[in-house]
């Protein structure tokens, strides 16, 4: 670094639209570089920020020094720093919050000095310490073995106001290490300790015989290692034989075993069963689209292209061939999917073609899984990242392609915490920054994207036919007003009920779609007409039969369902409307032998639940998949021959100027989930608005 550069501008994850200037101490001049995390003092706390720029001047008279540089390599390269700066300006949010959104959770958490203790202190050592340095002994006793504790926590536990000198003494003795960082509860590298048997396995019986009289636990450990190839982790030893680490340490001192720390990678899809990749020649329309995409990739030019293809037209095949071309050019790729529910299918498809070059990044991963995926992506171990909207920030070097599947989906828009970005638009800007290609696929493109193709901003390639010229499913619209006139008041119209019964008899699968979770959308008094509302949001609360509670789907406020009206004290309480739980209950009554799987926010909150449901349907362990909009997007189940839309009016009547557009998109997408195999398909749409 140039000698004149003495100051760093730091972006902190604060709701303040500015960066903060800090001086760079001499010992950090070589490591304080843009994109790296640093620890700084901010008011009366320590915080972690990112260096956004370096300077030889400071705009303020009083400044503080950087406390430490936390990385050997930048967590954000120059292009991602520029992208987060653009997000801050375009979406009117602080730069630090945009940077926080681009990094795994925990990397910008508040930090302070952390004391770690990796080895136990023998009793005789502790006795000597108590006599010679009682303050050091008191502090050491408060640091957990194989763990860490913050300096502020030590102050509270020991009442020692200035413990730093005593801690430095412990560090000089090799009993603790002091660093600036988190307490180990956030994401970090995970290691496994492997225990390896040193003597040949043939000698194990003799060693066990010698140890049994006086050290039975050590003998058991040797025996277990001999029976399992001479090598187990400490966790496996604990699980198989309740062998604790102290036993292993004694064997290590005797020269009978060796210990080795090995990094373990947390990958939730490590054991996924992959299909055999099928080599298919592209259709004429696919080949035309690929020529446009491959040409831009080969030139290293920025290009945005809409792949406008009917459901089942082979858009995924175009994605795969585009990624192949990208890898041949020595570049990397991002694949965005609109829902976490679609990631298991996407991972299977892309790992079947590209193997271990593919990883996953999304908020449904555990912090450790996400950190491992992000860290190894940054290191260049992965070249293809699949994920939901946050994967647009994947730290891939030499990015050449971004695929946005189902680009019309509103789930690409961040609605909760700032920055309130749209992943599709961020992807286009990122691609422009690095001269990459953006491919947006949809059977029902958003009006904005389609308008961009009309003005020449995006190119449009059409796929007008399904693969192998399979016909699109037939669609029948059932007027539910006519059903009521005929005295049929069931959730299922007669045509839909007959089709469900027929498909179950033929051992084919069914998808039923209702974009409303819970049992009943509102609870109402029949006497005074009161609808129970959320006290925070003033919207009606949804009744959930599994918990017997009403829930607000905005703020998650919960109340027990009333037995009497809160207003008039009447007992005439009714549960009005239909949600997925109510549909499931009626399905079980009418089709008791059917295997039903429900997919909505209530059944997919548990980690891995999306993957479990996907595999149950794919492996034909379920006859009926019932769900909200999750089931309408991108699934490819060849044995599904019937799609039933319980109520097409749910989204049509929302107070949203896009209601008609999004209803059309949802119905078209869910209709495309059937007839994707050789069996053909049929769609039944129930509505009270047939003439819309």
Q: Within the chain, how many helices (H) and strands (E) appear?
A: 22, 30
Q: What is the mean pLDDT of residues 35-54?
A: 89
Are the C-beta atoms of residues 303 and 438 closer than 8 Å to each other? yes
Predicted confidence band of residue 162 (pLDDT cuts 50, 70, 90): low
Greatest distance between any 2 Cα atoms in the chain: 94
pLDDT, tens digit (0-9, with 9 covering 90-100), for 218-245: 888 888 998 888 889 988 998 898 888 8
CA dist 671 and 318 (Å) reads 22
Q: In the numeric block, which tokens belong to residue 562?
A: 């009333």
Is 616 buried (19+), middle (13-18) or exposed (0-12) by CB count in 10 A?
middle
Q: SS3 of 249, please?
A: helix
Give CA separation, 689 vs 307, 352, 461, 495, in Å. 32, 44, 34, 17
Count, residues in the chain? 692
Predicted confidence band of residue 531 (pLDDT cuts 50, 70, 90): confident
Predicted confidence band of residue 161 (pLDDT cuts 50, 70, 90): low
User: Which of 175-184, 190-199, 525-534, 612-621 has the least mean pLDDT?
Assistant: 175-184
**Tell me, what DSSP letter sits at residue 393?**
G
pLDDT higher than 80, residue 359: yes
Tell me the whole-structure pTM to 2 decimals: 0.79
pLDDT, tens digit (0-9, with 9 covering 90-100), for 449-481: 999 999 999 999 999 998 878 888 889 999 999
Give CA separation, 646 vs 110, 511, 512, 628, in Å. 48, 10, 7, 10
User: Which of 286-295, 372-381, 525-534, 646-655 has the least mean pLDDT?
Assistant: 646-655
388 or 200, which is more confident? 388
pLDDT higher than 80, residue 532: yes
What does the pLDDT read at residue 4? 60
Parallel/antiparallel/unpaired status of strands 509-513 and 624-627: parallel
As a three-state string, the secondary structure of 451-520 is HHHHCCCCEEEEECCCHHHCCCCEEEEEEHHHHHHCCCCCCCCHHHHHHHHHHHHCCCEEEEECCCCCCE
What does the pLDDT read at residue 182? 47
pLDDT, tens digit (0-9, with 9 covering 90-100), for 426-438: 999 999 999 999 9
Beta bridge partners of 462: 308
Residue 275's CB is within 10 A of a number of other CB atoms, namely 11
Are the C-beta atoms of residues 288 and 462 closer than 8 Å to each other? no
The b-or-e profile of 163-202 (16+ CB within 10 A means b, else e) is beebbebbeeeebbeeebbbbeebbeeeeeebbebeeeee
What does the pLDDT read at residue 166? 80
pLDDT, tens digit (0-9, with 9 covering 90-100), for 307-329: 999 988 899 999 999 999 999 99
């Amino acid at each position: 670094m140039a000698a004149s550069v003495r100051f760093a501008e730091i972006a902190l994850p604060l709701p303040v639209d500015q960066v903060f200037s800090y001086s760079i101490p001499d010992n950090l001049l070589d490591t304080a570089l843009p994109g790296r995390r640093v620890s700084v003092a901010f008011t009366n706390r320590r915080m972690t920020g990112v260096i956004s720029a370096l300077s030889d001047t400071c705009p303020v008279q009083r400044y503080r020094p950087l406390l430490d540089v936390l990385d050997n390599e930048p967590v954000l390269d120059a292009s991602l720093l520029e992208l987060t700066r653009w997000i801050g300006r375009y979406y009117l949010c602080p730069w630090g919050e945009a940077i926080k959104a681009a990094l795994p959770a925990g990397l910008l958490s508040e930090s302070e000095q952390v004391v770690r203790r990796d080895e136990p202190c023998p009793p005789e050592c502790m006795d000597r310490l108590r006599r010679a340095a009682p303050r050091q002994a008191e502090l050491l006793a408060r640091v957990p073995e194989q763990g860490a504790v913050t300096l502020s926590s030590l102050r509270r536990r020991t009442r020692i106001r200035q413990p730093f000198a005593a801690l430095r003494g412990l560090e000089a003795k090799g009993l603790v290490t002091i660093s600036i960082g988190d307490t180990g509860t956030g994401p970090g590298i995970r290691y496994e300790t492997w225990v390896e048997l040193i003597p040949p396995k043939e000698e194990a019986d003799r060693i066990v015989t010698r140890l049994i009289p006086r050290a039975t636990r050590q003998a058991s450990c040797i025996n277990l290692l001999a029976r399992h190839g001479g090598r187990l982790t400490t966790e496996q030893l604990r699980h198989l034989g309740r062998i604790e680490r102290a036993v292993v340490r004694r064997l290590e001192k005797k020269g009978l075993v060796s210990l080795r720390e090995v990094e373990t990678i947390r990958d939730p899809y490590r054991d996924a069963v992959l299909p055999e990749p099928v080599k298919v020649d592209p259709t004429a329309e696919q080949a035309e689209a690929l020529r446009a995409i491959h040409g831009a990739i080969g030139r290293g030019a920025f290009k945005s292209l809409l792949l406008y293809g009917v459901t089942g037209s082979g858009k995924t095949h175009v994605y795969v061939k585009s990624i192949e071309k990208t890898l041949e050019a020595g570049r990397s790729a991002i694949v965005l999917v609109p829902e976490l529910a679609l990631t298991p299918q996407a991972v299977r498809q892309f790992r079947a073609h590209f193997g271990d070059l593919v990883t996953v990044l999304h908020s449904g991963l555990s912090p450790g899984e996400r950190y491992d995926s992000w860290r190894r992506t940054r290191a260049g171990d992965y070249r293809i990242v699949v994920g939901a909207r946050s994967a647009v920030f994947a730290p891939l070097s030499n990015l050449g392609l971004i695929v946005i599947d189902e680009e019309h989906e509103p789930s690409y828009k961040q609605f909760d915490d700032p920055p309130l970005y749209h992943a599709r638009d961020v992807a286009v800007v990122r691609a422009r920054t690095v001269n990459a290609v953006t491919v947006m696929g949809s059977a029902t493109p958003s009006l904005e994207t389609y308008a961009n193709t009309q003005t020449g901003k995006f190119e449009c390639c059409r796929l007008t036919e399904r693969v192998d010229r399979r016909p699109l499913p037939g669609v029948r619209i059932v007027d539910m007003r006519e059903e009521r006139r005929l005295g049929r008041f069931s959730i299922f119209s007669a045509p839909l009920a007959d089709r469900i019964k027929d498909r179950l008899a033929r051992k084919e699968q069914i998808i039923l779609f209702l974009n409303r979770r819970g049992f009943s959308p509102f609870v109402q008094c029949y006497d005074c007409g009161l609808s129970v509302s959320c006290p925070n949001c003033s919207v009606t609360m949804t009744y959930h039969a599994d918990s017997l509670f009403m829930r607000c789907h905005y703020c998650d406020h919960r109340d027990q369902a009333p037995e009497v009206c809160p207003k008039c004290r009447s007992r005439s309480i009714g549960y009005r409307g239909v949600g997925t739980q109510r549909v499931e209950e009626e399905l079980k009554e009418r089709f008791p032998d059917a295997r039903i799987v429900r997919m909505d926010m209530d059944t997919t909150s548990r980690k891995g639940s999306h993957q479990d449901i996907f595999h149950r349907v794919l492996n034909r362990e379920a006859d009926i998949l019932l769900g909200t909009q999750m089931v309408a997007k991108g699934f490819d189940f060849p044995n599904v021959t019937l799609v039933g839309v319980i109520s097409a009016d749910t989204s049509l009547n929302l107070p949203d100027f896009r209601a008609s557009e999004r209803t059309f998109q949802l119905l078209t997408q869910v209709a495309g989930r059937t007839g994707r195999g050789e069996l053909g398909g049929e769609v039944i749409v129930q509505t009270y608005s047939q003439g819309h």
